[in-house]
């Protein structure tokens, strides 16, 4: 936040000019805050999209875990153990993969939450404090 030096010329300026300058500066400030909010929301949206994509991938792998009767692995394991045990082992491995993908996707979603422009909120609070200090 930039500090405007106390200019003696401002004390001599007509009230109308000061009000006009205030309106212009307020308009500029509002535009800048909106641009910051837009940029921040875009960034958060991208993170949320990545997290949702990873959760979707976890769902697909979980579907494979439910239908984990992949003939190649089960048949290979069935040579050394009963077929039911071989099928169970394959299902557990697929389930673990789905769990890891779900955890990664959930972490991505948490990083993008809450979906509010936090930096923008902070700078608005700073601007309000600055404006209050200028009145004194």
Crossing angle between the packed helical segments 118-135 and 15-66, to the nearest 10 degrees: 160
Confidence of residue 135 (pLDDT cuts 50, 70, 90): low
Crossing angle between the packed helical segments 15-66 and 83-111, to the nearest 10 degrees: 180
Confidence of residue 68 (pLDDT cuts 50, 70, 90): low
Tell me the CA distances in angstroms from 12 to 6, 7, 24, 133, one per residue in order: 12, 9, 19, 20
131 token code pair: 């404006």
pLDDT of residue 3: 57
Q: What is the pLDDT of the chain when averaged over all its residues?
A: 83
Confidence of residue 136 (pLDDT cuts 50, 70, 90): low
- Average pLDDT on 76-91 reads 91
Q: Which tens digit of pLDDT belongs to each residue from 15-53?
A: 888 888 888 888 898 899 888 888 888 888 888 889 999
pLDDT of residue 100: 95
More confident residue, 86 or 65: 86
Nearest to 94 by CA among 110, 70, 117, 75: 70
- Average pLDDT on 70-81 reads 87
Please give the model's pTM, rounded to 2 decimal places. 0.42
pLDDT of residue 103: 94
């Amino acid at each position: 936040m930039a500090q405007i030096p106390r200019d003696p010329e401002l004390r001599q300026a007509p009230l109308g000019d000061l009000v006009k300058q205030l309106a212009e500066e307020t308009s500029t400030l509002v535009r800048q805050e909106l641009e910051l909010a837009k940029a921040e929301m875009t960034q958060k949206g991208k993170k949320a999209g990545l997290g949702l994509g990873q959760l979707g991938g976890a769902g697909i792998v979980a579907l494979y875990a439910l239908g984990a009767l992949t003939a190649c692995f089960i048949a290979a394991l069935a040579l050394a153990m009963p077929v039911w045990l071989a099928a169970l082992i394959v299902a557990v491995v697929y389930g673990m993969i789905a769990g890891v993908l779900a955890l990664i996707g959930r972490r991505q979603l948490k990083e993008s939450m809450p979906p509010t422009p936090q930096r923008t909120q902070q700078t608005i609070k700073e601007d309000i404090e600055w404006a209050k200090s200028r009145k004194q």
